[in-house]
């Protein structure tokens, strides 16, 4: 092959790599544009319309990304990253999206200029590590539920809705720090939204079911609780077996055994029976006569929550054969169980197990209910994250301060990796730029004003007051965010940016006949 041919092929390879990168960067930018207009106190709403004409109006980044219709694989990568942010922290999806888009955009610009992708990624890793360390150092720890910083953080995530912020803090206090620190526990799961309900926080659970029969008591107190993770019914006999004498005798024996098992439940003083599956008609009748409140066909999540809160141990249908003293060890306790007939659900209050809280959020219409539900979940997630990781100045202030720190790092980085560090420094400015732009100010001017003020006063909490356009201390304005939200957003943005920048070529995959995986 001649030198000229080699040069032509080399040029073609470079063009193809850049084409793939530019295509992916463009797709990422499109998704980011859908949510970046919602960030900050002056952020606007997004209208989502499906093919049936149903409309959702929200400025919740997580909801927008969850519902947006995209086909480009790079766009899906970004959306999956934002979902991971939501699953892990419950807030900050818009920040993660804005940072990821900025990192990819800046990285693409450097690659187009001729900087090798590996060097850009090397610099991004250095810059992100520096930013994460700095933000971690800036976090102010919250040691109690009455710290004003906690309420401020809740109010920011609740988009200024004071009632939802207060509900979130009260719920966290009911649950306690030990429960909040459990990696498997999400305070946001305690949010229940109902049309026509009044805002309320109580120490207990809501089960979205009604009692089996209206003849059962609507309310029971000082309650022993039995949780059957199965159906409550006799063992089945095949119809063919019933035609034989032995089969019929076996059937009668099982029926008698089942009645004896039900009597044991009554004699143990059980007042609340929960079944994961069906409850036989004869059991329903006996429970009704005995003044037992029974609920059937509960989800595994509801069963798990009941066990956790009441201290009950789940038992299978066959376990009901145990002797009464052995069966008693499986019972849980709570102060009260009652049905709210107006709202159509069961409440379990004051369990003897682990503390639990329910945040009941009221709304006037279905659309309002859905939006308030999203906001309440953001607020509760922010409260939990703040108590576990501390808080930092919001409003883009801490990211801007981290950008200055990363810029200082750049001076000591040798080689072309320094250009990757530049990418991080520029990306960290983007949240404040977007917040300022959404407030109607010139982002370039205001970001430089804030950066100069931070440098002069050596403060990481200075940013722009979106009402006046002046530099202000975010702590004084009550604008704070959980440190965990910021840290995870930066790490998640770096991960997706590295993945996208590494894509060398886009090739259509051969159809192997397998069904597409569900999202």
**Which pLDDT score is estimated for 243?**
63
Rounded CA-CA distance 497/107 in Å is 8
DSSP letter (8 states) at residue 352 = S
Global confidence as pTM = 0.81
Domain-embedded: residue 474: yes
Domain that holds residue 330: 204-356
Encoding tokens for residue 431? 């949240």
Contact assessment for residue 448 and residue 51, using Cβ atoms and an 8 Å cutoff: no
Whether residue 122 is found in the same domain as residue 22: yes
**Residue finishing a domain among 356, 377, 407:** 356
**Which pLDDT score is estimated for 92?**
78
Dihedral of CA atoms 126, 131, 133, 134 in degrees, nearest 10, equals 140
Rounded CA-CA distance 375/161 in Å is 9
Domain-embedded: residue 192: no
Q: Provide the β-strand partners of residue 195.
A: 363
Domain-embedded: residue 188: no
pLDDT digits (tens, 9 = 90+) for 367-406: 788 889 989 999 999 999 999 999 999 999 999 999 999 9
Q: Provide the β-strand partners of residue 294.
A: 273
Q: List the one residue out of 33, 34, 27 whose CA is nearest residue 108.
A: 27
Rounded CA-CA distance 262/335 in Å is 23
Alpha helices in 139-213 (DSSP H): 148-157, 162-175, 177-180
Whether residue 331 is found in the same domain as residue 406: no
Domain-embedded: residue 52: yes
**Residue finishing a domain among 306, 338, 356:** 356
Residue 177, Cβ neighbours under 10 Å: how many?
Answer: 13
Question: What is the number of structural domains in the chain?
Answer: 2
Rounded CA-CA distance 29/52 in Å is 27
Question: For position 485, which CATH number holds?
Answer: 1.10.560.10
Whether residue 210 is found in the same domain as residue 328: yes
Alpha helices in 139-234 (DSSP H): 148-157, 162-175, 177-180
> What is the length of the chain?
519
Q: List the one residue out of 275, 277, 273 whose CA is nearest residue 286.
A: 273
Average pLDDT over all residues of the chain:
88
Question: For position 263, which CATH number holds?
Answer: 3.50.7.10
Going from the C-alpha of 409 to that of each of 300, 337, 419, 468, 495, the distances in angstroms are 51, 60, 12, 33, 20
Average confidence (pLDDT) over 273-292: 93
**Which pLDDT score is estimated for 6?**
42
At 2, the pLDDT band (50, 70, 90 cuts) reads very low
């Amino acid at each position: 092959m001649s030198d000229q041919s080699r040069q032509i092929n080399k040029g073609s390879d470079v063009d193809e790599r850049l084409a793939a990168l530019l295509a992916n960067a463009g797709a990422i930018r499109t998704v980011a544009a859908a949510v970046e207009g919602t960030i900050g106190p002056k952020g606007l709403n997004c209208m989502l319309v499906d093919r049936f004409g149903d409309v959702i109006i929200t400025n919740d980044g997580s909801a927008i990304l969850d519902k947006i219709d995209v086909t480009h694989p790079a766009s899906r990568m970004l959306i999956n990253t934002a979902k991971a942010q939501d699953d892990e922290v419950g807030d900050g999806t818009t920040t993660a999206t804005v940072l990821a888009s900025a990192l990819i955009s800046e990285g693409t610009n450097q690659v187009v200029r001729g900087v090798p992708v590996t060097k850009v990624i090397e610099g991004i890793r250095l810059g992100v590590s520096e930013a994460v360390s700095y933000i971690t150092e800036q976090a102010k720890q919250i040691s109690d539920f009455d710290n004003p910083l906690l309420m401020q953080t809740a109010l920011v995530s609740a988009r200024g809705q004071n009632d939802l912020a207060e509900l979130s803090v009260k719920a966290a206090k009911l649950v306690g720090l030990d429960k909040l620190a459990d990696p498997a526990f999400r305070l946001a799961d305690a949010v229940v939204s109902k049309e026509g309900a009044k805002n309320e926080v109580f120490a207990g659970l809501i089960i979205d079911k009604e009692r089996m029969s209206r003849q059962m008591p609507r309310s029971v107190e000082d309650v022993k609780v039995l949780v059957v993770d199965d159906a409550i019914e006799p063992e089945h006999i095949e119809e063919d077996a019933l035609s034989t004498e032995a089969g019929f005798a076996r059937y009668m024996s099982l029926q008698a055994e089942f009645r004896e098992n039900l009597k044991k439940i009554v004699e143990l003083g059980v007042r609340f029976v929960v079944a994961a599956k069906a409850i036989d008609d004869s059991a329903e009748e006996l429970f009704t006569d005995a003044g037992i409140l029974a609920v059937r066909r509960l989800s595994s999540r509801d069963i798990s929550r009941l066990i956790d809160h009441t201290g009950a141990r789940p038992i299978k249908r066959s376990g009901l054969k145990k002797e009464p003293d052995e069966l008693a060890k499986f019972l849980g306790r709570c102060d009260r169980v009652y049905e709210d007939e107006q709202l159509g659900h069961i409440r379990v209050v004051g369990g003897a197990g682990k503390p639990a809280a329910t945040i009941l959020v009221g709304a006037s219409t279905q659309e309002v209910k859905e939006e308030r539900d999203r906001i309440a979940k953001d607020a509760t997630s922010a409260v939990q994250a703040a108590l576990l990781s501390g808080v930092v100045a919001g409003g883009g202030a801490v990211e801007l301060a981290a950008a200055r720190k990363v810029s200082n790092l750049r001076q000591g980085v040798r080689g072309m990796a320094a250009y990757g560090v530049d990418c991080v420094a520029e990306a960290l400015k983007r949240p404040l730029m977007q917040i300022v732009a959404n407030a109607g100010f010139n982002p370039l001017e205001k970001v430089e004003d804030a950066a100069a003020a931070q440098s002069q006063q050596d403060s990481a909490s200075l940013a722009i007051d979106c009402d006046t356009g002046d530099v202000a201390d975010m702590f004084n304005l009550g604008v704070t965010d959980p440190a965990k939200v910021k840290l995870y957003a930066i790490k998640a943005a770096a991960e997706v940016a590295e993945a996208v920048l590494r894509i060398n070529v886009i090739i259509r995959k051969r159809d192997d006949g397998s069904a597409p995986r569900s999202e």
